Amino acid sequence: MAPFLIMLLLMGSAEKEILLPLPKHKGQVSVEEAIKNRKSVRSFKKEPLSIEEISQLLWAAQGITHTLRGFSFRAAPSAGALYPLEVYTVLKQGIYHYIPSGHKLVLVKEGDFRKKLANAGLSQSAIHSAPLDIVITAIYARTMIKYGERGTRYVHIEAGHVAENLQLQAVALGLGSVPIGAFYDEKVKNVIGCTNEEVPLYIIPIGKPRE
């Protein structure tokens, strides 16, 4: 990613499209350490996350890990590899939709919507104070077209996979997170500007823990 785009992001300007830096595939924290140290963190420093940290988190959630016979597979397992989930980032600069193909962010709304998102989440302070809120939504039809009504269960299981990936990656980066499922669906949809067919399943605030 061009250095000036990184600077604009950190200074508060909202770019319409952000090509994220390539994620790292090796870290200094073992899986066992990340599991041991994972805990819910609800108080964060105001310090923004770096574009590299955001990139790594999104890759862990839904990033492409490998391609086989022209089909791309992602970091979290998905029933039938149908990938019903969409991921949004809510930052001070704006709301972005993560696009796994190309590993990039596309602007949905410019401006700071964290307070509005917190209001939609029963006024939970972690949502407002975190420098990054990740919202996971589901398009059930993508999975149900193959699995019928049982596809609903598979979508919910998949959301759990993604949330755990995010939280373990956060620990590995020295960050804290908390998974939140208590919110008003329609209000969250209005805030993030997702499509009508999407249903919000998770809000995950992430940031540097306040000591």
pLDDT for the residue 157 = 98
How many residues can be counted in the chain?
211
| pLDDT tier at 183, thresholds 50, 70, 90 | very high
Structural domains of the chain in order of their starting residue, each with its CATH number: 3-207 (3.40.109.10)
- Determine what percent of the chain falls in helix, strand and coil, rounding each to the nearest 5: 40, 25, 35
pLDDT for the residue 3 = 39
Alpha helices in 30-124 (DSSP H): 31-37, 51-62, 114-120
pLDDT, tens digit, 9 for 90 and up, residues 144-176: 999 999 999 999 999 999 999 999 999 999 999
pLDDT for the residue 15 = 85
C-beta of residue 62 within 8 angstroms of C-beta of residue 75: yes
pLDDT for the residue 8 = 47
Asked whether residue 141 carries a pLDDT value surpassing 90, the answer given is yes
Q: If you average pLDDT over every residue of the chain, what do you get? A: 94
Q: How far apart are the first and last CA of the chain?
A: 32
Interior CA angle at 162 toward 176 and 181, to 5°? Answer: 70
pLDDT for the residue 124 = 97
Non-local CB neighbours of 115 within 8 Å, separated by 6+ positions: 128
